[in-house]
Amino acid sequence: MDQVEIFKALSNKTRLQILGWLKNPEESFPEQGTYGYADGVCVGQIQVKTGLTQSTVSEYLSSLQRAGLVTSTRKGQWTYYKRNEEAFTALSQIIQSEI
Amino acid sequence: MDQVEIFKALSNKTRLQILGWLKNPEESFPEQGTYGYADGVCVGQIQVKTGLTQSTVSEYLSSLQRAGLVTSTRKGQWTYYKRNEEAFTALSQIIQSEI
DNA sequence: TTGACATATCGGAAAAAACCGATATATATT
DNA sequence: AATATATATCGGTTTTTTCCGATATGTCAA
């Protein structure tokens, strides 16, 4: 668990927004509808909501994943990303005890 | 409280080390001795311990202060920096509830 | 008031991050 | 096999960060 990498991933407004949206995918991405949210939300829907390009958002999601803050699941041609809540709990505790 | 600014301040190994040292100034900076640690630790001692230049460390401490993670007190020709524990408590809670 | 010391600020070179468009890859459909 | 769609990766430009040396400022002591 590389703390610097985690904080770098969190040092960007758009990436913080994405994490916020993934807290309530039903609210933030109602268009996903039928498939459900068990695996999170697919890249394309996140991309539209950010207003940034597909490549940028794909890289942002990778960086969040490298930091351990989200996990990804490939299903067919889609990749779904969802929050890794344990990572946030752990980070919260690290800030209280270690840093 | 600008979250991006806080995380940027935490996105650097040296700045994280400084914050760690300031958790236990008596242990980390025994050379300060006589003056005590009520106001924290002065820039020069932190600078020596980092191995970086005076200007770099001064800027690092400013950025930690802008983020609200430390406070500074001028005493004579010295500036003492100490942790702002409330900020860490607040950040820990923000990570659990907001982010 | 001069000199010594501590810290802050300024200007800049090198490295990293923030994006983008183009292209590659993987899967699904026909 | 060919086409369409979703995502990842690559190469590049611009902006930001990382650090430095030089200089300015602020305080103390002689």
Tell which residue, B46, B34, B31, B30, has the closest CA to residue B79: B46
Least confident range from A28-42, A47-61, B38-52: namely A28-42
Residue A26 lies in a domain: yes
**3-state secondary structure (DSSP) of residue A71:** strand
How many angstroms separate the CA of B77 from the C1' of D26? 7
Residue B82 lies in a domain: yes
Residues in B whose CB is inside 8 Å of some CB of A read 3-4, 7-8, 10-13, 16, 19-20, 88-89, 91-93, 95-96, 98-99
d(CA A43, CA A59): 10
**Tens-place pLDDT, residues B5-63:** 999 999 999 999 999 999 999 999 988 766 789 999 999 999 999 999 999 999 999 99
pLDDT greater than 80 at residue A8: yes
Predicted confidence at residue B32, as pLDDT, reads: 77
CATH code where residue A14 lies: 1.10.10.10
Number of domains in chain A: 1
Predicted confidence at residue B34, as pLDDT, reads: 67
Residue B95 lies in a domain: no
Mean pLDDT, range A48-65, rounded to an integer = 98
Asked if residues B22 and B87 have their Cβ atoms less than 8 Å apart, the reply is no
Residue A94 lies in a domain: no
Residue A53 lies in a domain: yes
Q: Could you give phi then psi for residue A24, rounded to 5 degrees?
A: -130, 70
* Residue B89 neighbours by CB distance under 10 Å: 12
Q: Which residue is nearest to nucleotide C26 (CA to C1')?
A: A77
pTM for the structure as a whole: 0.95
Q: Which residues contact A96 (CB under 8 A, 6 or more apart)?
A: B88, B89, B92
Residue B45 lies in a domain: yes
Comparing CB atoms, the residue among A10, A88, A89 nearest residue B7 is: A10
Predicted confidence at residue A82, as pLDDT, reads: 98
Q: Across chain A, what does the average pLDDT equal? A: 96
Domain boundaries, position B56:
3-89
Residue B15 lies in a domain: yes
d(CA A67, CA A13): 16
